[in-house]
């Protein structure tokens, strides 16, 4: 069933009106449809849809639309998925950063997956969202509204510019940045925390891991080389920080991505800009 045919069908119209109205993100629609599935039986139920279509037809219709929306999500690029994830998070009443932190510690998205999904699709979905949550958390801190002076913005801007240019240097430190821009390490550290919500070491570590993710996705360099390219002189520290951030080692991450690329019917993980 093609997209136009599916959207024109009566039962899809019913489901859109009863369960998906006002939900603008694909991930939000996945969540709403998954919530209609009963854990104990796997059957779908929604009172409004069942009243109109009947119990059996409602189950079948909700299942078909869930699978359709699922395929729509998987067909998007990582950039499209990241934008959709951020759009969905705006639906929550909680503070955006609080939602990102909660989802990173206890991801709810495995429950969004339809029963018909293949093992490769399930792994692709959860892997992509794990990466996107990590990137979005970092980017949200970078783009949060600024409530500090022009001088502070200028100093932070210089610091971030230097960090992004020199992150691959193992000796890069808050002290060396402060010395270069003419500010004490203590003062710069306080400003960094105030403006980004993270201390310098946390920010630098996450920035380096983001760069490592990009290299793991795009290059064939070995782990030791990638560690050196993102500023780690000791590969074991790189592996430790990567595991803390992503829940797996760099080698495990690459192996998983390679399996997905070879087994997901031509879907490719697109490059992450940064």
The pLDDT of residue 266 is 36
Phi, psi of 241 (to 5 degrees): -65, -40
Query: Around Cβ 1, how many Cβ atoms within 10 Å?
Result: 10
Q: Is the pTM of this model over 0.75?
A: no
CA distance 53 to 184: 69
- Contacts of range 74-80, beta carbons closer than 8 Å, 24 or more positions apart: 74/121, 74/124, 74/125, 74/267, 75/267, 76/26, 77/270, 78/128, 78/131, 78/132, 78/269, 78/270, 78/272, 79/270, 79/272, 79/273
Q: 54-100 pLDDT, tens per residue?
A: 898 889 889 988 998 898 888 887 777 877 887 788 777 777 777 87
How confident is the prediction for the chain on average, in pLDDT? 79
Domain boundaries, the chain: 3-143, 156-263
Residue 268 has pLDDT above 70, yes or no: no
Q: What percent of the chain has pLDDT over 90?
A: 22
Q: What is the DSSP string of 103-135?
A: HHHS--GGGGS-TT--HHHHHHHHHHHHHHHHH
Q: Quickly state the pLDDT bin for 10 (edges 50, 70, 90).
A: low
* Cα→Cα distances 6→9, 10, 61, 95, Å: 5, 9, 11, 36
Q: What is the CA radius of gyration of the chain?
A: 22
Q: What percent of the chain has pLDDT over 70?
A: 83
The pLDDT of residue 118 is 87
- Once rounded to an integer, what is the mean pLDDT over residues 195-200? 75
Is 156-263 a CATH 1.10.1040.10 domain? no
């Amino acid at each position: 069933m093609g997209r136009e045919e599916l959207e024109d069908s009566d039962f899809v119209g019913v489901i859109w009106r009863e369960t998906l109205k006002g939900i603008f993100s694909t991930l939000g629609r996945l969540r709403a449809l998954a919530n209609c599935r009963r854990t104990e039986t796997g059957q779908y139920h929604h009172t409004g849809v069942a009243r109109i279509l009947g119990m059996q037809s409602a189950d079948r219709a909700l299942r078909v639309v869930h699978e359709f929306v699922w395929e729509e999500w998987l067909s998007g690029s990582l950039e499209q998925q990241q934008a959709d994830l951020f759009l969905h998070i705006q639906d929550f009443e909680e503070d955006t950063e609080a939602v990102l932190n909660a989802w990173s510690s206890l991801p709810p998205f495995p429950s969004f997956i339809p029963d018909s999904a293949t093992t490769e699709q399930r792994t692709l979905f959860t892997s992509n969202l794990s990466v996107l949550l990590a990137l979005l958390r970092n980017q949200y801190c970078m783009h949060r509204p600024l409530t500090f002076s022009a001088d502070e913005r200028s100093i932070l801007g210089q610091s971030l510019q230097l960090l992004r240019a020199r992150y691959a240097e193992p000796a890069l430190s808050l002290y060396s940045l402060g010395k270069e821009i003419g500010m004490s390490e203590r003062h710069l550290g306080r400003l960094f925390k105030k403006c980004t919500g993270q201390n310098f070491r946390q920010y630098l570590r996450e920035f380096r891991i983001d760069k490592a993710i990009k290299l793991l996705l795009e290059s064939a360099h070995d782990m030791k080389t990638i560690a050196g390219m993102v500023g780690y002189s000791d590969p074991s520290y790189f592996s430790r920080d990567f595991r803390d951030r992503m829940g797996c080692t760099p080698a495990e991450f690459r192996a998983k991505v390679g399996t997905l690329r070879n087994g997901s019917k031509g879907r490719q993980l697109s490059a992450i800009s940064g």
